Chains A and B, each alone.
Chain A
Amino acid sequence: MTLRVEDLAVARGGVPILSGLSFSLRPGTALALRGPNGAGKTTLLRTLAGLQPPLAGQIHGAGEAIAYAGHADGLKAMLSVTENLTFWADVFGTSDIAPAMDAYDLHGLADRPAGTLSAGQKRRLGLARLLVTGRAIWALDEPTVSLDTQARSLFADSLSAHLQRGGSAVVATHIDVGLTLEELDIARYRAAPDLRAGASDEAFL
């Protein structure tokens, strides 16, 4: 499914930060969002995932097709790796967690409570969750944070396998993930200071 974004504007805390953003993402492609801290990468991803409404513009093809992975992995410290993953598989209506365990080399950790994992291991589990959602479009916010080189290559493999299966991804990242991705510099879409359309503070200016 193609993700199409038309003339999108997003706001953070009532202040518009991005405007006039348009792109489309065909199956099998991935888009890297670039931009300095605070440029609005997280806000854009949350808007794409449907967690917050856009200020203006349209998003087509996201909805139930998108899986979001933010800074927090949604893991329960007291549940084991298998239990965490099985839970998300059940919620998203898929059942087989083995491919996800394989992809991120989690079999050795299967019975460890998630609370005892290192930061990088938690991240691997969080990324494995994307595989059990069975969704076509991934919205990833800094996926490689706290991953070592080996884990980073696991991520790159998993992402390229996802793209080969006809999936797609929007990735906000500062560092090279080890794949050649299309790039989108969102700093160019920074909302002009005098942009007023739709922002909640607009009425007061």
Chain B
Amino acid sequence: MSLWEYANPVRFLRLSAKAQPVLWVAAGLSLSLGLLWGFFGTPDDMRQGSTVKIIYLHVPAALMAINAWFMMLVASLIWLIRRHHVSALAAKAAAPVGLMMTLIALVTGAIWGQPMWGTWWAWDPRLTSFLILFLFYLGYIALWSAIDDPDTAADFTSVLCLVGSVFAVLSRYAVKFWNQGLHQGTSVPVATGGRTISDVFFYPLVLSMVGFGLLFIALVFLRTGTEIRQRRTRALLARARRGG
């Protein structure tokens, strides 16, 4: 039993059908619990007041915006190396979800920034990096929809994803170099294992992060299933045409 067995579309659909109800329920529970706890169960921040509570949307969305791209990168590599169709379609399915996560992060950031920094938008390195990420998602999705042959489209978008990842990282450093920025430090620095916010805010935040993660996985499962069924319809139609 290896992971690669799920590269078979039929097996993947079977797994997806089994996993999806669990994922949706788990995502719904952790999201609603995390968000409700975050909004109503935590005290206002001393300096930021109640505006701080947007953190429960902003931080998980930003986290998933990056992780979605990372997942697409891994899926693209798997497609280029092992040519598993499910992998290519999963990358395709994840892109619009990642785009929406980026958009949520940008919008909530603007709403949070207005009372905090006194401006809706600032050319702060982090915001700018997310804007660039947003453009990468747009380009990736546009390229998928511009090419007719699904395998060629998968090839092209995979290479774009690889090259784009390199340039996204480059842009991140270029942007940091260009403007030092207003944005506060990361809330949950994974590398150091420490954290910059206190426990009361931290636990509901972790819960919403888990919820966003599960929601992302459930959406990718759902959308990948749709993509697989579309390809299957296409293949069946092509076979019917050849069979006469």
Q: Is the interface of B mostly helix, strand, loop or mixed?
A: helix
- Select which of B149, B228, B236, B243 is within 8 A of A14 by beta carbon: B149
Which of B151, B231, B235 has the most CB atoms of chain A within a 10 A radius of its CB?
B235
| A200 touches B (CB below 8 Å) | yes
Whether A205 contacts B239 by the Cβ 8 Å rule is yes
| B238 touches A (CB below 8 Å) | yes
Contact with A along B233-244 (1 / 0, CB 8 A): 011101100111
Known: A15-B238, A193-B243. A204 touches B231 (CB 8 A): yes
| A185 touches B (CB below 8 Å) | no
Known: A200-B85, A200-B150, A203-B9. A15 touches B242 (CB 8 A): yes
Q: Given the complex, which residues of A lie within 8 Å of B242, measured CB to CB? A: 15, 191, 193
Known: A14-B150, A15-B238. A203 touches B243 (CB 8 A): no
A contact residues vs B (CB 8 Å cutoff): 13-15, 191, 193-194, 200-205
Q: CA A204 – CA B236 in complex, angstroms? A: 8
User: Number of residues in B with C-beta < 8 Å to the partner?
Assistant: 17
Q: Given the complex, which residues of B lie within 8 Å of A202, measured CB to CB? A: 235
Q: Given the complex, which residues of A lie within 8 Å of B238, measured CB to CB? A: 14-15, 201
Q: Known contacts A193-B239, A202-B235; can you find 20 more A-B pairs with CB under 8 A? A: A15-B238, A193-B243, A193-B244, A194-B239, A194-B243, A200-B85, A200-B151, A201-B234, A201-B235, A201-B238, A203-B8, A203-B9, A203-B85, A204-B85, A204-B228, A204-B232, A204-B234, A204-B235, A205-B235, A205-B236
Q: CA A202 – CA B235 in complex, angstroms? A: 8
Q: How many A-B residue pairs have CB under 8 A?
A: 38
Chain B residues numbered 205-240 whose CB sits less than 8 Å from any CB in chain A: 228, 231-232, 234-236, 238-239
Q: CA A14 – CA B154 in complex, angstroms? A: 13
Q: CA A203 – CA B239 in complex, angstroms? A: 13
Q: CA A193 – CA B235 in complex, angstroms? A: 12
Q: CA A51 – CA B42 in complex, angstroms? A: 64
Q: Given the complex, which residues of B lie within 8 Å of A200, measured CB to CB? A: 85, 150-151
Known: A204-B228, A204-B231, A204-B232. A14 touches B239 (CB 8 A): no
Whole-angstrom distance between the Cβ of A149 and the nearest chain B Cβ = 39
By Cβ-Cβ distance, the 8 closest A-B pairs, closest first, are A201-B235, A193-B243, A204-B232, A204-B235, A193-B242, A200-B151, A204-B231, A15-B238
Whether A205 contacts B232 by the Cβ 8 Å rule is yes
The residue of chain A having its C-beta at the shortest distance from the C-beta of B233 within the complex is A204
Q: Given the complex, which residues of B lie within 8 Å of A204, measured CB to CB? A: 9, 85, 228, 231-232, 234-236
Whole-angstrom distance between the Cβ of B108 and the nearest chain A Cβ = 39
